Chain A
Amino acid sequence: VYQVFESVAKKYDVMNDSMTLGIHRVWKDILMHKMNPSPGTLLLDVAGGTGDIAFRFINYVRSARERQLQRKLKHHQNLSWQEISESYQEDKFKSLGDSQVVVCDINKEMLKVGKQKAQHLGYSEGLSWVLGNAEELPFDDDKFDVYTIAFGIRNVTRIDLALQEAYRVLKPGGRFLCLEFSHVSNPLLSRLYDLYSFQVIPVLGEVIAGDWKSYQYLVESIRRFPPQEELKAMIEDAGFLKVDYQNLNSGIVAIHSGFKL
């Protein structure tokens, strides 16, 4: 799997857009809305490679923060000059409000691309990049408010270990969110989806990235991945409560959610 992503890293984003016709962006936006992070949230994005989730998180909390500050300012209209100058010194006007996202990925190349993107797009505050393995995370227990893994969990050899690690590093009350390709139950759609996956995607891989085999692997790994209910059971086994899932596009993609309570 490592070598697949080494060769895939640079063309990852282009391939995502081509394969999903840009829809993957919508899926990730939906994930972010479901998360609905408030400023001050500490997010761990695992297998987050090129930063898609991380950047969306920063944008989200930034605008949430702006709204928060605007409300505060309105409230401050009636303060005295003394009180206003004191509030400046409080240094509470951080644009992200102490929110932070840690992007963790097992692959150096993916992280490299992510860092370059961040620089190019102007993201610096509240963002850090860590090399690590989802099955053995380099973090202490009970650290994060939210754990996300978007299109990464199907590449993990021992999904159960990754889920256990997710449970470990989340704070009590923390939320687990997984965005992943899943199973389409509708038979007609399923056949169309299979046709597209097996016929078109490897061709796109060859033409765009010069790499048929990696994308053939991708399509096959999607088929091998546990369906919605099975994944739900696995998440429950790791100790999460209130586990549920939401199908997107009739099950082509699903968001699984669970809480450490």
Chain B
Amino acid sequence: GRACLSHTEPRARDGRSGEEEEEEEEEGCYQLYPGHIPTSPLQKALLAAGSAFMALYDPYRHDMVAVLGETTGCLALPNLRDKMKHHPEGYRILQERPRIRLSTLDTAKLRGLPDGSLGREYIRFLEDNKVSPDTRMPPKFVDDEELAYVIQRYREVHDLMHTLLGMPTTILGEVVVKWFEAVQTGLPMCVLGAAFGPIHLSAQNLQLLATELAPWAIRSGRNASCILNVYYEQRWQQSVESLREEIGIFPPP
């Protein structure tokens, strides 16, 4: 829906031309979800270019990778949303809008699950790599509320991808996951990440990537059904192996 929320400081009482005030009102009226910053096409283009540059220049700027994804996803995101709509499980996810957050996960219960189960391995992944699903950036520049959820879901499912692919959060691991995601989602950000991420790799890792890991990731990505169509929260008990088979991910080398 269209919420007329002002996302700026209180307006001035004087000193501003009528034209400017109109422009302000227009932008403020289009805040579609909390955290949404409406942007013009020019701004999106500048953001895409700037974030791409900054993400390469300073790899620790994860926020730039997120922004790049949002500003370039205008074709891929509707595509993904449609895939979800036409799949029974995906459709349910779009309706129910589940979020993966530490506050909603029962970590004790997940830890108690048998080894090899999705829940147990996911928690193990989070703990081993010292990451949390809560650090995923909420979307700001996506101009459609449903698509904003789609990209949010993609971000939150990313850690599960690591778990299913068996990849750690090292640069090499991240690049492999990006290759998989690039094939799966078609998001330009994934493609760019997959293509340019290897810049930071050592020669040895580069070779490993090129000869074994990337081809496997691509094959799996092609073979697998859409990863956003899996209601992970209802499958914690399922074993990682069986879930892999069901989705179509080949066992990691």
- Assembled-state Cα–Cα distance A225/B15 (Å): 7
Q: Nearest Cβ in chain A — how far from B50, in angstroms?
A: 4
Scan residues 172-195 of chain B and give those whose CB is less than 8 A from a CB of chain A.
Answer: none
CB-CB < 8 A to B7: which residues of A?
A: 213
What's the nearest-Cβ distance from chain B to residue A190, in Å?
9
B42 to chain A: which residues have CB within 8 Å?
199
Residue of B whose beta carbon sits closest to that of A4 = B9
Chain B residue contacts of A198, Cβ below 8 A: 23
User: Is A220 in contact with chain B by the CB < 8 A criterion?
Assistant: yes
Compute how far the CA of A224 lies from the CA of B54 in the bound complex, rounded to whole angstroms: 32
A93 at the interface (CB under 8 A from B): no
Q: Which chain B residues numbered 18 to 67 have a C-beta less than 8 Å away from chain A?
A: 20, 23-24, 37, 40, 42-43, 46-47, 50-51, 53-54, 61, 63-64, 67
**Contact-residue size bin, chain B (C-beta under 8 Å from the other chain):** 20 to 34
Nearest chain B residue, comparing its CB with the CB of A226: B15
Instruction: Tell me if A207 counts as interface (CB < 8 A to partner B).
Output: yes
Task: Select one of A200, A217, A221, A225 contacting B46, CB under 8 A.
Answer: A200
**Closest CB in chain A relative to B20 CB, distance in Å:** 6
Asked whether, in the complex, the Cβ of B40 is within 8 Å of the Cβ of A194, the reply is: no
Q: Give CA–CA (A200, B46) in the complex, Å.
A: 7
Q: When chains A and B are docked, how far (Å) is the Cα of A223 from the Cα of B22?
A: 13
A225 to B12: give the CA distance in the assembly, Å. 9
A203 touches B47 (CB 8 A): yes
Given contacts A199-B42, A202-B43, A212-B140, A194 and B20 within 8 Å (CB-CB)? yes
Q: Does A206 contact B (CB under 8 A)?
A: yes
Q: Which residues of A contact B46 (CB under 8 A)?
A: 199-200, 203
B37's contact among A210, A212, A226, by CB below 8 Å, is which? A212
State how many angstroms separate the Cβ of A64 from the closest Cβ of chain B. 39
Contact of B170 with A by CB under 8 A: no
Give the chain B neighbours of A204 by CB distance below 8 A. 50
Knowing A198-B23, A212-B37 are in contact, say whether A203-B15 is a contact too (CB < 8 A). no
User: Within 8 Å CB of A212, what residues of B?
Assistant: 37, 140
CB distance from B69 to the nearest CB of A (A): 14
Are B16 and A224 touching (Cβ within 8 A)?
Answer: yes
> Which chain A residues (167-226) contact chain B, with CB distance < 8 Å?
194, 198-200, 202-204, 206-208, 210, 212-213, 216-217, 220-221, 223-226
A223 & B140 in contact (Cβ 8 Å cutoff): no
Interface membership of A227, Cβ < 8 A: yes
A208 to B47, CA, bound (A): 11
Is B8's CB within 8 Å of the partner chain A? yes
CB pair B50 A216 closer than 8 Å: no
Closest beta carbon of chain B to A194's beta carbon, Å: 7
Chain B residues with CB under 8 A of A207: 47, 50-51, 53-54, 64, 67
Return chain A residues, CB-CB under 8 Å to B50: 203-204, 206-207
Chain A contacts for B12, CB-based, 8 A: 223-224
The residue from B8, B15, B51, B61 contacting A217, defined by CB atoms under 8 A apart: B8
> In the assembly, what is the distance between CA of A207 and CA of B63, in Å?
9
Contact mask for chain A residues 106-142; partner B; CB cutoff 8 A; 1 contact, 0 none: 0000000000000000000000000000000000000
- In the complex, how many angstroms separate the beta carbon of A199 from the nearest chain B beta carbon? 5
Q: Mark A218-259, 1 if CB is under 8 A from B, else 0.
A: 001101111100100000000000000000000000000000
In this complex, what residue of A is CB-closest to B50?
A: A207
Q: A212-B37, A225-B15 are in contact. Are A206 and B47 (CB under 8 A)?
A: yes
In the complex, are the beta carbons of A210 and B15 less than 8 A apart? no
* B53-87 contact mask (Cβ, 8 Å, vs A): 1 or 0: 11000000101100100000000000000000000
Q: Which residue of the partner chain B has the closest CB to A219? A: B8
What separation, in Å, do the CA atoms of A230 and B14 have in the docked complex?
A: 12
Verify B61–A210 contact, CB threshold 8 A. Answer: yes
Q: Whose C-beta in chain A lies nearest to the C-beta of B40?
A: A199
By Cβ-Cβ distance, the 5 closest A-B pairs, closest first, are: A207-B50, A224-B12, A203-B46, A199-B42, A207-B54
Ordered by A's residue number, 22 sampled pairs between the chains whose C-beta atoms are within 8 Å are: A198-B23, A199-B42, A199-B46, A203-B47, A204-B50, A206-B47, A206-B51, A206-B67, A207-B50, A207-B51, A207-B64, A208-B54, A210-B61, A212-B140, A217-B8, A217-B9, A220-B24, A221-B9, A223-B12, A223-B16, A224-B15, A225-B15
- Which A residues have a C-beta under 8 Å from some C-beta of B? 194, 198-200, 202-204, 206-208, 210, 212-213, 216-217, 220-221, 223-227, 230
Partner-A contacts on B (CB < 8 A): 7-9, 12, 15-16, 20, 23-24, 37, 40, 42-43, 46-47, 50-51, 53-54, 61, 63-64, 67, 140
Known contacts A202-B43, A213-B37; 13 additional CB pairs below 8 A are A194-B20, A199-B46, A200-B46, A207-B51, A207-B64, A207-B67, A210-B63, A216-B8, A217-B8, A217-B9, A220-B24, A224-B12, A227-B15
